[in-house]
């Protein structure tokens, strides 16, 4: 039975009418890769590199980062790896970096904003990544908390320069869509990046103006709120105009109903906690894309998150 279960987990997330969704795992360390693969992951859709900086008293240097990215690529053995550059600030504070205190850290210097102000953080990371890419494997780089096109321009320029210095191969460059501005201007961003990955945890927080950690508001911070779904749809449509693909790596990707809805909205890749993979794959394999598209259209037309949730029949669609 166990062997059959393993075999089922290894099947692709292909709907009954033949549409395949890529399934990635959110994994931060090379030693977690085998577990993710045994759950049915086809790659790593989000490596949160701020974890390399946490639970220690200093910042990892270029060499140490290089070893880690290399080990991730080796553990994945040719499967895709999307590394997100440092997303520090907001809910991810790193005491030893001694960054200034902010009144509103979620609206402050976090993610790409911090990287662009601190080349001492950005450059060793990019050098480590391009050095790892030189050794082979399917690496992509993704930038967090992108708000404006100027940030993308500056980050691309840094990548181009470092890649040329190292004589490294080009790697796909993507952005996280987690600020509503990026979703609204997705058609413009799509000219300048290779892919999008929607961070629904932050996108929900910023669209609904609800602190993602607020204990009293957690129930209202629903990533299936129709306003969030509309932002996701805008992202998919904007990306499609320039032939770019869209993934989701926020928590809702690991919810079977959420995964079904996102697929109906045109999301091509879902990346989640490894443990969530088998149920998501089962749900998608029990569905027809055409039915999921109908479901998505109905969800977009809902007035509230509760109404969207009520569309969940709990199984095949």
Nearer to ligand PEP, 254 or 266 (CB): 254
Here the tokens at position 296 are 């998505």
Which residues in this chain contact ligand PEP in the complex, by CB under 6 A?
46, 48, 87, 178, 199-202, 249-250
Q: Return the number of the residue (168 or 277) whose C-beta is nearest ligand PEP.
A: 277
Q: Which of 212, 281 has the CB closer to ligand PEP?
A: 212
DSSP 268-309: -EEEE-GGGHHHHHHHHHTS-HHHHHHHHHHHHT-SSHHHHH
* The entry of ligand PEP, Mg ion, none that residue 125 binds, CB within 5 to 8 Å by partner kind: none
- At its nearest, how many Å lie between ligand PEP and the CB of residue 263? 17
Binding residues for Mg ion restricted to 167-206, rule: CB under 5 A: 178, 199, 202
Q: Check residue 77 and report its DSSP letter.
A: T
Q: Which residues are bridge partners to 271 per DSSP?
A: 24
Task: Confirm or reject binding of residue 90 to Mg ion (CB under 5 A).
Answer: no
Do strands 13-14 and 20-26 pair parallel, antiparallel, or not at all (unpaired)?
antiparallel
β pairing state of 80-84 and 245-248:
unpaired
> Could you say which of ligand PEP, Mg ion, none residue 250 binds, taking C-beta under 5 to 8 angstroms by partner kind?
ligand PEP
* Footprint (CB under 5 A) of Mg ion, residues 98-137: none
| Minimum gap (Å) between residue 211 Cβ and ligand PEP | 13
Nearest to 42 by CA among 233, 201, 269, 225: 269
Helices (H), the chain: 2-10, 33-39, 62-76, 112-117, 119-134, 149-166, 180-184, 186-189, 200-208, 226-241, 256-265, 277-285, 289-300, 305-309
The reply to whether 43 sits near Mg ion by the rule CB under 5 A is no
Minimum Å gap between C-beta 144 and Mg ion is 6
Q: Given the rule CB under 5 A, which residues bind Mg ion? A: 178, 199, 202
């Amino acid at each position: 039975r166990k062997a059959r279960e393993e075999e089922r987990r290894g099947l692709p997330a292909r709907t009954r009418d033949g549409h395949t969704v890529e399934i990635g795992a959110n994994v931060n360390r090379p030693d977690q890769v085998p577990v993710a693969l045994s759950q049915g992951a086809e790659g790593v859709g989000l490596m949160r590199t701020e974890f390399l900086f946490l639970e220690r008293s200093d910042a990892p240097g270029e060499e140490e980062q290089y070893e880690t990215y290399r080990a991730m690529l080796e553990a994945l053995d040719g499967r895709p790896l999307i590394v997100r550059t440092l997303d520090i600030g907001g809910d991810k504070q790193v005491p030893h970096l001694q960054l200034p205190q902010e009144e509103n850290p979620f609206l402050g210097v976090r993610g790409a904003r911090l990287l662009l102000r601190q080349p001492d953080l950005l450059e060793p990371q990019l050098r480590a990544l391009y050095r790892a890419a030189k050794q082979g494997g399917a690496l992509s780089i993704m930038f967090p908390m992108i708000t404006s096109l100027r940030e993308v321009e500056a980050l691309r320029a840094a990548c181009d320069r470092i890649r040329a210095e190292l004589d490294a191969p080009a790697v796909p460059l993507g952005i996280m869509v987690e600020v509503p501005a990026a979703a609204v201007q997705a058609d413009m961003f799509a000219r300048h990046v290779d892919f999008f990955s929607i961070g629904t945890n932050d996108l929900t927080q910023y669209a609904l103006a609800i602190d993602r950690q607020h204990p009293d508001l957690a129930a209202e911070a629903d990533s299936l709120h129709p306003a969030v779904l509309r932002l996701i749809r805008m992202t998919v449509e904007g990306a499609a105009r320039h032939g770019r693909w869209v993934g989701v790596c926020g928590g809702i990707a690991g919810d079977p109903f959420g995964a079904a809805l996102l697929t109906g909205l045109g999301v091509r890749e879902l990346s989640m906690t490894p443990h969530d993979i088998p149920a998501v794959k089962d749900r998608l394999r029990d569905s027809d894309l055409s039915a999921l598209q109908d479901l998505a259209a109905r969800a977009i037309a809902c007035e509230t998150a509760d109404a969207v949730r009520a569309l969940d029949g709990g199984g095949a669609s």
